Amino acid sequence: MTNLTKKLKVCYSFYICIIMFHGNFFEKLKNLELFRIDQVKIIYSLSLVVGLISALAAAFLKNAIHYTNRIVTEGLTQQSTGHLYLLFPVCGMLLTMLFVKYIVRDNIGHGVSRVLYAISKKKSRIKKHNTWTSLVATTLTIGSGGSVGSEAPIVLTGSAIGSAIGEYFKLNYRNITLMLGCGAAGAISGIFKAPIAGIVFTLEVLMLDLTISSIVPLLISSVTAATVAYFLMGNEVLFSFSLTDVFMIRYIPWYILLGVVSGFVSLFFSKMTLLLERRYEKIRNDYVRLIAGGTTLAALIYLFPAFYGEGYDTIRLLLQGKTADVFGNSILYRFSDNYLVFILFFFCMVMLKVVATSSTNGGGGVGGIFAPTLFIGGVNGFFIAGILEKYIGVDISENTFILAGMAGVMAGVMHAPLTAIFLIAEMTGGYSILITLIITSTVAFITTRSFEKHSIYHVQLAESGDLITHDKDKAVQTIMDWKKEIERDLIKVRNSDSLGDLVKVIARSKRNLFPVVDRYNILEGVVLLDDVREIMFNTGLYDKVSVKEIMSMPPSYIDISEGMDTVMKTFSETGAWNLPVLDKGYYVGFISKSRIFSAYRDLLAQFSDDAG
């Protein structure tokens, strides 16, 4: 296929994108009385549209990064001297930071985590600008040499496309979530040409339920995206080579060893990523943060040129046996005669890639940890294979260990062993080593899970109680906004009011509950109708008895900042039917158990509704 043909196809895809996103397109679609069609057919049709647009977005991002990088490396480098190219990633981070700060004006980093947060707290609604802003920011970052991946941003883009389409057609929460999942599956499938991995990623990482009504739309979206990707980019894959290795039982102990090491490498990567990004967040000045991250990244690229960009070229060189080319671009090449230095070079790449990635994101760039995870896994597999071959005398395939290492680290970092297995098998054609991938990924996942319950995508959401899980009860509690059920219309009284004043309030109220507050609106107690029923008709006591004498303290209270799990726990422990809601001590209203359970049942019915 000629370059001209490829460019024409890319231009065609851009044209289709413009047409699809044009407001008149969906308006005309609505005018076709789409909602008279069976609901299942609507979902299937929309999943195909979502898959198509997600694939086009993935193709756009791939080509945009490629051509940006070509412009930077071929256009500028040829006219530059020395190590001026080290400034390119910093310039890309600067442009990204300015784009996000002055044009987007919103945080678009950590794409997968933002999708998960949207599912749990935003009713699966993602801001419309995410359908394109991540593409631009990621192109600027990676195209200029930023050491991050493009997969998380494209997942956010695909999810935003699915969410926007679902919201436009006024689907319910469950089906908008399904469209969001279709967008994510289509994005992964489109960028890797791996339809099974796209589906499994949505089920494992985004935690969508596996039902017939959800799996079919995911299949449609994922296969559509893969087909479009093949049409636009041909049969080429990221790692095109002929794998002749087969699974051998005698190597199982070494695959288990690789899985254990990959698990600890995954744990190190996850912990260091969160630690370093928090350190960068503490730097308040954007330009100081850019200088800190950019300087660190430039220094690492100077020592390890493989850190420039996503890193897939390095993995490709390792798989092709051109390891000298990887080592030869470094200033450490002068020590290449020493095998220990050679192997330690790759060990340092495994350990320091996380610093390069975190510095890129922390300094102002936008990108994900998908590609860095694959990079670290591949280099780690090569490193372990070299150790076994040189110092233990095990005659083992380096390529098998590279691929298995990629699957192992991905499984550990993302807590998604199935995604790792199918992704590596699909994009490399390495089905002959499927058992090897399964062993390594499973062991790596178990190792990491033993020390960290949640993946890098889930850990912060889990800490704040915002993580959706496959447990429907917990999922509904996470989604439910109990603050909407607060009853704020109860008539308040003062403790100095007389029984006569209270009776007048009771006469015009339809409630049997009366909060007692002071002049600063601080709750002092509560009066129940049952507490005054016996004396409220004794007019002789109207001026003798005060509210202070008949009020009582509620068994507990709920602060408005508490989560749904705390609300349910408080009702369970107190046995109360009504509890006051306070905001740092100030009275807000009351929440009733009956309203909570009614809202819970309604949401559970919507959450569990099966459209198929």
pLDDT for position 185: 95
Q: What distance lies between CA 559 and its chain's CA centroid?
A: 29
Tens digit of each residue's pLDDT (9 = 90 or more) over 105-164: 888 888 888 898 888 778 889 999 999 999 999 999 999 999 999 999 999 999 999 999
Cβ atoms 93, 358 nearer than 8 A: no
Report the range of poorest mean pLDDT among 62-66, 77-81, 535-539, 607-611.
77-81
Cβ atoms 588, 582 nearer than 8 A: yes
Tens digit of each residue's pLDDT (9 = 90 or more) over 249-307: 888 999 999 999 999 999 999 999 999 999 999 999 999 999 999 999 999 998 898 99
What is the overall mean pLDDT for the chain? Answer: 84
Cα(547)–Cα(506) distance, integer angstroms: 13
Question: Given a cut of 60, is residue 77 above it in pLDDT?
Answer: no
pLDDT for position 271: 94
pLDDT for position 173: 82
Quick one: residue 52, left, alpha or beta (phi over 0 = left, psi -120 to 50 = alpha)?
Answer: alpha
581 φ, ψ to 5°? -110, 125
pLDDT for position 8: 45
Label residue 475 by pLDDT band (50, 70, 90): low
pLDDT for position 259: 96
Question: Given a cut of 90, is residue 212 above it in pLDDT?
Answer: no
141 φ, ψ to 5°? -70, -55
What is the bridge-based pairing of β-strands 578-583 and 558-559?
parallel
Cα(468)–Cα(179) distance, integer angstroms: 17
Buried b (16+ CB within 10 A) or exposed e, 542-558: beebbbeebbeebeebb
pLDDT for position 132: 92
User: What secondary structure, in 3-state letters, does 89-100 show?
Assistant: HHHHHHHHHHHH
List of residues 6+ apart from 273 with CB closer than 8 A: 354, 357, 358, 369, 456
Residue 491 is classified by DSSP as P
Nearest partner of 360 among 413, 309, 315, judged by Cα = 309
Residue scoring higher pLDDT (479 or 106): 106
CA quadruple 549, 555, 558, 564: dihedral positive or negative? Answer: negative
> Which contiguous run of DSSP H or E holds residue 528?
strand 523-528
Question: Given a cut of 80, is residue 429 above it in pLDDT?
Answer: no
What is the bridge-based pairing of β-strands 513-517 and 578-583?
unpaired
Q: What distance lies between CA 198 and its chain's CA centroid?
A: 14
* C-alpha atoms less than 13 angstroms from C-alpha of 439 in its C-beta half-sphere: 17
Residue scoring higher pLDDT (612 or 121): 121
The amino acid present at 436, given as its one-letter code, is T
Q: Which two tokens stand for residue 385?
A: 């294979």
Cα(400)–Cα(384) distance, integer angstroms: 11
pLDDT for position 208: 78
Tens digit of each residue's pLDDT (9 = 90 or more) over 316-370: 889 888 887 887 667 766 666 677 888 888 999 999 999 999 999 999 999 999 9
In order of their start, the domains of the chain are: 3-233 (1.10.3080.10), 249-470 (1.10.3080.10), 476-608 (3.10.580.10)
